[in-house]
Structure 1
Amino acid sequence: MQAVPSTASGSIAPLVPAKHRRSGTAPEQQTTSGMLTPASAPAASLVRTWSGDREGVEWDGQPKEREPVRERAKPQIVQQPQQQVNRKGYARLDMIGKGGSSRVFRVLSQTNELFAIKRVSLDKTDAETMNGYMNEIALLKRLDGNSRIIRLIDSEVKPGSGGSKGHLFLVMECGEIDLARLISEQMKEPLNMVWVAYYWQQMLQAVHVIHEEKIVHSDLKPANFVLVRGQLKLIDFGIANAIANDTTNIQRDHQVGTVNYMSPEAIELPDGMRRLKVGRASDVWSLGCILYQMVYGHPPFQHLSVYQKMKAIPDSDYEISFPEYATPTVPAPPRQGSSGHGPTTPPKKLDHLKSRVRGDVITSIQSCLRRNAKERALIPELLQQSWLATQEPEAPSAKNLLGEKETIINPYYMVQLLKYGIKLGLDPSSANMSEEMVQKQAEHLVAELKSIQNQ
């Protein structure tokens, strides 16, 4: 089953196959003496005759009085609206998402393949935005065949009439479900690190692809990733920008992004400047927020109001909480008679299913969520994390936990030390040993024992 990727504000509705219904005018399946007719019944005892729209039935050879002819309703064939893109026809099935000036439709090609058509109105589009759309198309064509990027099948700009600027049409690969929906379903279950590692690795790979092309997405969130035949792919490059002059920053004339996943530098305004610096590290911050959500069920700043988020995200004094346990949650049932307004009931926590979060996973999230962009982890570094292979962290050996002046004493060595201490106590000359000399003697014994153990 396939569906289409959502837009930033849309969701994905699964495609439900239509049930086959037998035509009301189709003849019944013929029966033979070897099927439903009893063996003792004569072959002529059950005869059905069909003549146009009239049906005559004979029982035991006697004709039954025919009923008057009734007009039967002819099955209506619903003609789906057609959409032409570069003279190729697509049957529009339904609309599954929409943004400010765009609509996304699920369509069926003439070869019965499912695709998504994104229709963008160009009426309110200025030259800069139009150039961004063209860059997006060029990027998708350049990345065609990459398994982590949604595939662009076709595109066309159609001029409008009556003063309209027309529309841009993008025919794109289908997706089955977006990551936002996937996470919301998974959060009802205990933390599954195999699931987290599988999709986290694919997200990193997808963003690494566009970074290698000197592209910063700058609006990463779970809805920007969709599953296509079980593989996670990056979609929606509507505000992706090329990194100018091979640097790691780009300049923005306006604030972008979704607040829950916005980086500190996307919110902060430098002194005396109204332009924002957003670079590769901003995408890493957003990815860290998504990983946090995959582990804990919500982004790190979700509990704050929009104003509080804008203050807390760039504030280095605001500490992000990294709980030791992840607790599954289920949405609270809607209140009876609720109109959907007013305070909502918080989700119910399933404390009996809570799971301890691995320390190395928390470390990975923290390496993405550093306020200073230069201190954040790089995607190649994140891809090398051992927990991505779902390996348990290597238990440190006892020797590695010892300090420089520490050693292990087993019963055998303890006996030797006791004998040495007793012998030393019986020596009259040791009675005048100072505390400093005793300390040095102890350190000497530990060093000697350590050297023996390391041989």
Structure 2
Amino acid sequence: MENLNLRQIQNAYTAIATKKSPTEGFQDHPVLNDRYLLLSLIGKGGFSEVHKAFCLKEQRYVAVKVHQLNKEWKEEKKANYIKHALRECDILKTLDHPRIVRLYDVFEIDTDSFCTVLEYIEGNDIDFFLKQHKYIPEKEARSVVMQTVSALRYLNNGIKPPVIHFDLKPANILLGTGTSSGEIKITDFGLSKQMCEDTYDPEHGMDLTSQGAGTYWYLPPEVFVQGPNPPKISSKVDVWSLGCIFFQCLYGRKPYGHNQSQAAILENQTILKAKEVEFPPKPIISDGAKAFIRRCLTYNVRDRPDVNQLSDDEYLRSYPKRSTTTASARTAQLLMNDSSN
């Protein structure tokens, strides 16, 4: 399909609720790359749209992300966007873990747009769930944490070079069944960092060359430090982010800068001042969960656990004998398998 743009794709949609098969009634819908039949728009960002689609070759549902470059952008901005998108693809195509969304394909539509084809997940993300329900009960929230830690452990030990996600947040954790008690998948590796041997020092970490990028409510103090040299980062960035996510799942609010904009967080140095975490009186949360969050949100990066240490944390290991969910039981086994490797 030549010169296909987002407006043409949108205009092609009709209602799909009564269809009996994946392709019935969609003869007039766009087919990208001769194999991906677009069914419905499921998400929209600043420069991209995500569509539910059906792969005619593999006979499965997929998520097609259409990246549309603004024709008025300067070449430098276009190159930067493409660089981040391609880096995400380069990282994703090497990943194979049950808690991480899989990349299937990448292709060009025209000079100003291209597509990435990802595993399709039926449910919404945690951010959407929290907007609907405000809280996630501790048992289910811990299952989310355990599954996320399993994925992070894989990113640190299961692939070479290891990867820092760097943009963990509720919007980037998908709920496979749409409920908080099911299996999760981590997505969006656009800001991820590869810890290559020539740039990563096991003792000090690696230079953060993209300071200012990311979602500030979930980033640790060290990434906001200004100085003659760039800050050093490691997997401990993701540990801090996970602590913020767990707090928000339990209390329905962010631990730092809850009602502030990103600009205000910078201006007020909110995260640089985040030396203590304060827990609301309600809902009632276990002391173990609070202690776990405190460990994740340890201000001094040297004292904060890394991903490997976090996977051995007593709070994740000492879960009740009755399995809270099927997902948490499977994830507990994953964590034990990770530790034995």
Q: Which residue of 1 is the match for residue 10 of structure 2?
A: none
Matched, 1:292 2:247: yes
Q: Which residue of 2 is the match for residue 194 of structure 1?
A: 139
Percent identity between matched residues is 26
CA 1:305–1:140: 2 relative to 1, 3 Å: closer
Q: Structure 2 counterpart of 1:313, which letter?
A: I
* Structure 1: runs of 5+ lacking an equivalent: 1-15, 22-76, 328-355, 393-455
Where in structure 2 are the equivalents of 1:101-140 lying within 5 Å? 101-110=47-56, 113-122=60-69, 124=73, 126-127=78-79, 129-140=81-92
**Contact 1:220–1:257, Cα closer than 8 Å, also in 2:** no
**Alpha-carbon distance in 1 for matches of 2:31, 2:16:** 21
2:175 aligns to what SS in structure 1?
strand
**Alpha-carbon distance in 2 for matches of 1:80, 1:113:** 19
**Alpha-carbon distance in 1 for matches of 2:90, 2:26:** 37
Q: Which residue of 2 is the match for residue 243 of structure 1?
A: 195
Shift of 1:300: 0.4
**Contact 2:107–2:114, Cα closer than 8 Å, also in 1:** yes
**Contact 2:125–2:173, Cα closer than 8 Å, also in 1:** yes
Q: Which residue of 2 is the match for residue 283 of structure 1?
A: 238
Q: Paired residue for 2:184, among 215, 229, 232?
A: 232
1:208 aligns to what SS in structure 2?
helix
Q: Which residue of 2 is the match for residue 376 of structure 1?
A: 304
1:117 aligns to what SS in structure 2?
strand
Q: Runs of 4 or more off by more than 6 Å in structure 1?
A: none
CA 1:79–1:19: 2 relative to 1, 3 Å: same
Q: Structure 2 counterpart of 1:169, which letter?
A: C
**Alpha-carbon distance in 2 for matches of 1:308, 1:166:** 34
**Alpha-carbon distance in 1 for matches of 2:39, 2:278:** 45
CA 1:181–1:126: 2 relative to 1, 3 Å: closer
Matched, 1:153 2:81: no
**Contact 2:49–2:65, Cα closer than 8 Å, also in 1:** yes
CA 1:18–1:100: 2 relative to 1, 3 Å: closer
Shift of 1:185: 4.2
Query: How big is each residue's C-alpha offset from its partner over 1:220-248, in whole Å with a ceiling of 9 and x where there is no partner?
Result: 11111113354211111112122242332
Q: Structure 2 counterpart of 1:228, which letter?
A: G
Shift of 1:203: 1.0
Q: Paired residue for 1:171, among 114, 117, 120?
A: 117
Cα RMSD of the aligned pairs, angstroms, is 2.8
1:326 aligns to what SS in structure 2?
coil
**Alpha-carbon distance in 1 for matches of 2:193, 2:307:** 18
**Alpha-carbon distance in 2 for matches of 1:116, 1:20:** 19
**Alpha-carbon distance in 2 for matches of 1:297, 1:238:** 26
**Contact 1:295–1:326, Cα closer than 8 Å, also in 2:** no
Query: How big is each residue's C-alpha offset from its partner over 1:149-192, in whole Å with a ceiling of 9 and x where there is no partner?
Result: 1011211134x3xxxx332211111112212223344535xx63
Q: Which residue of 1 is the match for residue 339 of structure 2?
A: none
CA 1:361–1:20: 2 relative to 1, 3 Å: closer
**Alpha-carbon distance in 2 for matches of 1:256, 1:276:** 13
**Alpha-carbon distance in 2 for matches of 1:130, 1:305:** 30
Q: Which residue of 2 is the match for residue 260 of structure 1?
A: 217
**Contact 1:121–1:166, Cα closer than 8 Å, also in 2:** yes
Q: Structure 2 counterpart of 1:215, which letter?
A: V
Q: Structure 1 counterpart of 2:296, which letter?
A: C
**Contact 1:252–1:278, Cα closer than 8 Å, also in 2:** no
Q: Structure 2 counterpart of 1:156, which letter?
A: F
Q: Which residue of 2 is the match for residue 63 of structure 1?
A: none
**Alpha-carbon distance in 1 for matches of 2:168, 2:302:** 19
Q: Structure 2 counterpart of 1:147, which letter?
A: P
Q: Which residue of 2 is the match for residue 336 of structure 1?
A: none
2:208 aligns to what SS in structure 1?
strand
Q: What number of residue pairs does the alignment pair up?
A: 281
Q: Which residue of 2 is the match for residue 347 of structure 1?
A: none
- The structure having more radius of gyration, on CA atoms, is 1
Q: Which residue of 1 is the match for residue 334 of structure 2?
A: none
Query: How big is each residue's C-alpha offset from its partner over 1:62-99, in whole Å with a ceiling of 9 and x where there is no partner?
Result: xxxxxxxxxxxxxxx564422323x32x2222222222
**Alpha-carbon distance in 2 for matches of 1:94, 1:17:** 8
Larger mean CA deviation between 358-367 and 121-130 belongs to 121-130
Q: Which residue of 2 is the match for residue 314 of structure 1?
A: 272
Highest relative contact order (Cα 8 Å, sep 6+), 1 or 2?
A: 2
Q: Paired residue for 1:361, among 283, 289, 305?
A: 289
**Contact 1:249–1:280, Cα closer than 8 Å, also in 2:** no
**Alpha-carbon distance in 2 for matches of 1:120, 1:200:** 30
CA 1:79–1:301: 2 relative to 1, 3 Å: same
**Alpha-carbon distance in 1 for matches of 2:212, 2:130:** 27
Q: Structure 2 counterpart of 1:360, which letter?
A: G
Shift of 1:299: 1.1
Query: How big is each residue's C-alpha offset from its partner over 1:257-280, in whole Å with a ceiling of 9 and x where there is no partner?
Result: 11221211222212x35x444332
**Contact 2:16–2:39, Cα closer than 8 Å, also in 1:** no
Shift of 1:301: 1.7
Q: Paired residue for 2:129, among 179, 182, 186?
A: 182
2:154 aligns to what SS in structure 1?
helix
Given the two structures, how large is their TM-score scaled by the length of structure 2?
Answer: 0.73
1:364 aligns to what SS in structure 2?
helix
Q: Structure 2 counterpart of 1:130, which letter?
A: I
